[in-house]
A and B are shown apart, each in its own frame.
Chain A
Amino acid sequence: MGVLVIVGTDKGAFLLRSDAARADWKIQGPLFKGWKVTTVARDDSGRYFVATASDVYGQALHVSVDLDNWRQIENGPAWAKDTERKLNQIWTLNLQTRRFYAGVDEAGLFASEDGGESWSPVEGLNEHPTRDSWYPGAGGLCAHAVLTDTKNPKRIWCGISAVGVFRSDDGGLTWEIKNQGIPMLIEDKKHKEIGRCVHGLVADPNDAETIYRQEHTGMFRTRDGGETWQRIETGLDSSFGFPIAMDRTSKTLFIIPLESDEYRIPADGRFRVYRSANGGDAWDPLSNGLPQENAYMGVLRDALAVDHLDPCGVYVGTTAGTVHVSNDAGDSWTQVSCILPRILSVSVYVQE
């Protein structure tokens, strides 16, 4: 058994490979040299999908079965000319149900019914009655998180910055805003129910109704599919951050808080991951092996991943290009011997 970590950066993707011990890493790359690799996902059949973007040459979606031979998908997500929207990048891919989803900037959701070969806009969300009041956050107007209920594929959640969380119960035809309990960040005169800035979402793998939400304004949890949200910040020095991940084996949560939305750096230069083993009721800082002096890098929302092994591996890519790995669920960490370009995405795959 081996573990493959795909690190997407501002200048390409890097493949980090190890055996089950996850102690020694071999590095290969860059793939897609010169391109931003904004997100990566693997479908149930083992095909890898990589989203690339460029400030000059636009974005695209690529697919491969072997990580060596890649094919650009010709009918990837694209806005129609009459929308006057630009498709700047794919932020997230959800390939967990028969219908694939891609969340994009400029914000919207696209779906594929044919295994990713062609993509259509999810009109019910993209043309939502509140659409004219959607405003971008610092990272752009982006649909960056998509959750699906594998037991009921008609239920879908989508997080959009700086708008909030939407849920569909009818396979994407209609969408309701699910922000009750989340503080307003940008007040719209007409639509008081939006203007929330969701940064990250993760669902309990056995209970799609339980969702954890890293919000601009703090950490939240819902146990009713998003109808109501409650703060879960016990033990956190700061509740501002971007990524959130959950190990489906132990249901341990991981987040990486930064010092406030104003500064967005690790507090006091101490780089720490926070862990909750009780569904967010309390959080503990993890620092053993992480830089604890003069460390001022950030972690973007797609740059934290777990491998779901026992004990789970945790993988963090930073804006400084460093990769930090734990092979014992966060108890201890090592830094992989590389300094990469700014890291945009980290994903991990166990290979039999």
Chain B
Amino acid sequence: MPQVTVQLPSILGRIIDESRAIPIEADSLGGALRALVDRHPALGVHLFDETGNLRQHVLCFHNQTNTRWLHSIEAPLAKGDTITILQAVSGG
């Protein structure tokens, strides 16, 4: 499986007491997020809501693409890809 990097916002990185850049091996975007939560179960409640979907104001980018615009979260990954978790913030 290709190795990718999951980038977390600092507010979540502190919870798992680990670097904000986490290497993960996974075939797909969904697989990477599942592997991330398998390794750090504390993140599950912060990324996903009761329906099992990403929380409404959690953004997830696959490289430069907002995954909300993808047809499926099971998009394939390539070695060196970056998955970035951000909080959706608009305006001030």
Contacts and interface: CB of A to CB of B under 8 A. Distances in A.
Contacts, number: 45
B1 interface: no
A81 B46 contact: no
Contacts of B49: 58, 86
B87 A58 contact: no
A55 B58 CA distance: 10
Contacts of B87: 56-57
B11 A58 contact: no
B68 interface: no
Interface residues of B, number: 18
A34 B46 contact: no
Nearest to B16: A72
Interface string A292-309: 000000000000000000
A59 interface: yes
Contacts of A81: 50-52
B79 interface: no
A58 B42 contact: no
B41 A74 contact: yes
A56 B57 contact: yes
A79 B51 CA distance: 10
Interface of A: 33-35, 54-60, 72, 74, 76, 78-79, 81, 83-87
Interface of B: 11-12, 14-15, 41-42, 45-47, 49-52, 55, 57-58, 87-88
24 contacts: A33-B14, A54-B11, A55-B57, A56-B55, A56-B87, A57-B12, A57-B87, A58-B45, A58-B46, A58-B49, A58-B55, A60-B15, A60-B46, A72-B15, A72-B42, A74-B41, A78-B45, A78-B50, A81-B50, A81-B51, A81-B52, A83-B50, A86-B49, A87-B50
